[in-house]
Amino acid sequence: MSATTSAAVRRAVEVVREDVASLHAELIRNELVIWTAGNVSGRVPGMDLFVIKPSGVSYDELTAEDMVVCDLDGHLVEGVHQPSSDTAAHAYVYRHMPEVGGVVHTHSTYATAWCARREPIPCVLTMMADEFGGDIPVGPFALIGDDSIGRGIVETLRGSRSRAVLMGGHGPFTIGRSARDAVKAAVMLEDVARTVHVAQQLGQTWRLDDTDIDSLYDRYQNVYGQQDGSR
């Protein structure tokens, strides 16, 4: 951004930088990533910009100043580091899903195991119905480097109530109204991926009826929690 960028725009960017930087600590705390893998991004409200983790920087060293700002084509706008290798995927999601305010990618153990199997996680738990509105879908395998992963995410999640996708042979991506919302979805995804895996080792599981899933999802999204939208 240039020196003539307004103070209001700069402040909006800095708020997202601070938020995205702090949310990376949640990935570590919830054991969703190792080393430098994984990333959180957040859209800058009202602007064609988003903030994302830099490539290859240790989580222990991340600060708000390290976060990089990109436009919706994935081009670097501001920052001293190169953006994440997943930037093109995040940018594609923001361009094609304007309702999305945050994107998260992890290699969390159980969710990634389902990605390796290329098998949807069946909605056998009320928590899955609440949070994801049904099964967790599988997206196509795609190589890193261009927007192929982003296309797979959008094609899989557009028209779906799920806020998580299991990208085949790669790892999970989650979306949300905000970066924090997307991180919450990533935490919940790993929890249900682990629980359903354990349940299936014990024996048969039963998918919830669609009518019950619809009822649970509606209650959780529209009734549960506080009036400020927190759940």
Catalytically active residues are 105, 107, 130, 170, 224
Buried b (16+ CB within 10 A) or exposed e, 46-80: eeebbbbbbeebebeebeeebbbbbebebeebbbe
User: In the sheet where 102-105 sits, what is the strand order?
Assistant: 76-78, 68-71, 49-52, 39-43, 102-105, 171-176, 164-167, 138-139
Q: Which residue has the tokens 């997206």?
A: 139
Cβ contacts of residue 215 below 8 Å, gap of 6+?
A: none
List the one residue out of 24, 65, 17, 7 whose CA is nearest residue 42: 17
Q: Are 128 and 136 in contact (CB under 8 A)?
A: yes
CA angle 60, 8, 177 (to 5 degrees): 60
Specify the 3-state DSSP secondary structure of 203.
coil
